[in-house]
Structure 1
Amino acid sequence: MSQIPNVTPMRTTAENQLLELFPSVRARLPGDAASREKAFGAFAEAGLPHRRVEAWKYTDLRALLREAAPLADGASAAALAVAGSSMGPIAALGGLIAIVDGQFAPTLSDLGALPTGVEVAGLADAMGAGHPLLSRLGASITADDAVLALNSALMSDGAVIRVPAGLKPSQPIVVRFARTGAEVRSTYTRVLLVVEDGASVTLVETHEGPAGVAHQDNTAVEILAGDGCVVNHVRLNASGGGGVDLSSLGVRLGADASFATLALATAPALTRHQVFLTFAGERSKASINGAALLHGRQHADTTLVVNHSVPHCESRELFKHVLDGESTGVFQGKIIVAPHAQKTDGKMMSQAVLLGDNATMNNKPELEIFADDVVCAHGATCGQLDDDLLFYLRARGLPKPDAEALMLQAFVGEALETVEDEAVRAVLESVVEAWLKARM
Structure 2
Amino acid sequence: MNVAVAKTGGGRAVSDLFASAEGRLPGAPAVTAVRREAFETYERLGLPHRRIEEWKYTDLRALVGKVLPLAAAPDAAALKRAADAVKAHAIAGARKLVLVDGVFAPDLSDVAALGSEVDLKTLSEVLNNEANPVAADLLRTITTDAVISLNAAMATDGVLLSIGEGVEVSAPIQIVHVATAGGASTYTRSHVKVGNRARATIIESFVGTGQAGAYQVNDAVLVTVGDDADVAHIRLMDDAPDAVNITSQFVTVGANTKVNFFNMTSGAAVSRLQGFITLAGEGSELSINGVNLLQKTEHGDTTLVVDHAVPNCVSREIFRAVIDDRAHSVFQGRIIVRPDAQKTDGKMMTRALLLSDEAEADNKPELEIFADDVSCGHGATAGALDDTLLFYLKARGLPEKQAQALLIQAFVGEAIEQIADDGLREHVIGMAERWLERRS
Q: TM-score, normalised by structure 1?
A: 0.95
Cα separation, 2, equivalents of 1:134 and 1:410 = 47
Contact 2:221/2:250 (CA < 8 Å) preserved in 1? yes
In structure 2, the residue matched to 1:52 is 51
In structure 2, the residue matched to 1:21 is 17
Out of 13-22 and 71-80, give the one that drifted further.
13-22
Contact 1:217/1:245 (CA < 8 Å) preserved in 2? yes
Deviation string 1:189-214 (CA, Å, 9 cap, x unpaired) is: 01100101110100001111035711
Out of 53-62 and 38-47, give the one that drifted further.
38-47
Cα separation, 2, equivalents of 1:394 and 1:190 = 48
SS in 2 for 1:189: strand
- Using the TM superposition, give the Cα deviation of residue 286 of structure 1 relative to its aligned residue in structure 2, in angstroms: 0.8
Out of 97-106 and 167-176, give the one that drifted further.
167-176
Q: Partner letter of residue 191 of structure 1?
A: S
SS in 2 for 1:315: strand
In structure 1, the residue matched to 2:138 is 137
Work out whether 1:189 is the aligned partner of 2:185. Answer: no
SS in 2 for 1:156: coil
Q: Partner letter of residue 402 of structure 2?
A: D
Cα separation, 2, equivalents of 1:251 and 1:79 = 32
- Using the TM superposition, give the Cα deviation of residue 117 of structure 1 relative to its aligned residue in structure 2, in angstroms: 2.5
Cα separation, 2, equivalents of 1:138 and 1:144 = 13
SS in 1 for 2:408: helix
In structure 1, the residue matched to 2:340 is 340
Q: Percent identity?
A: 44
SS in 1 for 2:128: helix
SS in 1 for 2:90: helix
Equivalenced residue count is: 434
Q: How does 1:240-255 map to 2 (within 5 A)?
A: 240-255=240-255
- Using the TM superposition, give the Cα deviation of residue 280 of structure 1 relative to its aligned residue in structure 2, in angstroms: 1.2
Cα separation, 2, equivalents of 1:405 and 1:167 = 41
Cα separation, 1, equivalents of 2:142 and 2:349 = 24
Contact 1:126/1:160 (CA < 8 Å) preserved in 2? no
Cα separation, 2, equivalents of 1:108 and 1:151 = 24
Cα separation, 2, equivalents of 1:314 and 1:137 = 29
SS in 2 for 1:310: coil
Q: Partner letter of residue 70 of structure 1?
A: P
Q: How does 1:395-410 map to 2 (within 5 A)?
A: 395-410=395-410
Contact 2:252/2:277 (CA < 8 Å) preserved in 1? yes
Contact 1:143/1:276 (CA < 8 Å) preserved in 2? no
Contact 1:115/1:169 (CA < 8 Å) preserved in 2? no
Q: How does 1:341-360 map to 2 (within 5 A)?
A: 341-360=341-360
SS in 2 for 1:301: strand
- Using the TM superposition, give the Cα deviation of residue 134 of structure 1 relative to its aligned residue in structure 2, in angstroms: 4.8
Seen in structure 2, the aligned counterparts of structure 1 residues 94 and 45 have a Cα distance that, compared at 3 Å, is same
Out of 94-103 and 28-37, give the one that drifted further.
28-37
Contact 1:258/1:284 (CA < 8 Å) preserved in 2? yes
SS in 2 for 1:201: strand
In structure 2, the residue matched to 1:260 is 260
SS in 2 for 1:303: strand
Cα separation, 2, equivalents of 1:229 and 1:425 = 21
Seen in structure 2, the aligned counterparts of structure 1 residues 413 and 375 have a Cα distance that, compared at 3 Å, is same
Cα separation, 1, equivalents of 2:326 and 2:248 = 26
Cα separation, 2, equivalents of 1:144 and 1:92 = 39
Cα separation, 1, equivalents of 2:433 and 2:132 = 42
- Using the TM superposition, give the Cα deviation of residue 261 of structure 1 relative to its aligned residue in structure 2, in angstroms: 0.8
In structure 2, the residue matched to 1:305 is 305
Cα separation, 1, equivalents of 2:358 and 2:117 = 52
Deviation string 1:53-81 (CA, Å, 9 cap, x unpaired) is: 00000001112222321101111111111
Q: TM-score, normalised by structure 2?
A: 0.95
Cα separation, 2, equivalents of 1:393 and 1:206 = 35
Contact 1:95/1:112 (CA < 8 Å) preserved in 2? no
- Using the TM superposition, give the Cα deviation of residue 25 of structure 1 relative to its aligned residue in structure 2, in angstroms: 1.4
Work out whether 1:77 is the aligned partner of 2:73. Answer: no
Deviation string 1:55-109 (CA, Å, 9 cap, x unpaired) is: 0000011122223211011111111111112312434432110100110000100
Contact 1:190/1:221 (CA < 8 Å) preserved in 2? yes
In structure 2, the residue matched to 1:274 is 274
Contact 2:247/2:274 (CA < 8 Å) preserved in 1? yes
In structure 2, the residue matched to 1:198 is 197
Structure 1 runs, 4 residues or longer, greater than 6 Å off: none
SS in 1 for 2:158: strand
- Using the TM superposition, give the Cα deviation of residue 132 of structure 1 relative to its aligned residue in structure 2, in angstroms: 8.1
Cα separation, 2, equivalents of 1:408 and 1:143 = 38
Seen in structure 2, the aligned counterparts of structure 1 residues 152 and 135 have a Cα distance that, compared at 3 Å, is closer
